[in-house]
Amino acid sequence: MLPEHHRLHRRIDFSRTVRQGRRIGRRDLVVHLLLHDDQANGSDPAIRVGGPRFGLIVSKAVGPAVVRHRVARRLRHICACFVAELPDGADIVIRALPGAADATSEELHRQLQAGLRKLGMLTPEGEAGISVSGES
Beta strands in the chain (DSSP E): 22-25, 29-35, 53-58, 90-96
Going by pLDDT thresholds of 50, 70 and 90, the confidence category of residue 102 is very high
Q: What phi, psi does 58 have (nearest 5°)? A: -125, 100
Q: Structure pTM?
A: 0.81
Q: What is the pLDDT of residue 74?
A: 96
If we measure between CA atoms, which residue out of 117, 101, 104, 51 comes closest to residue 78? 104
For 24, what's the count of Cα atoms within 13 Å in the CB-facing half-sphere?
15
Confidence band (pLDDT; 50, 70, 90) for 48?
Answer: low
pLDDT tens figures, 25-35 = 999 999 999 99
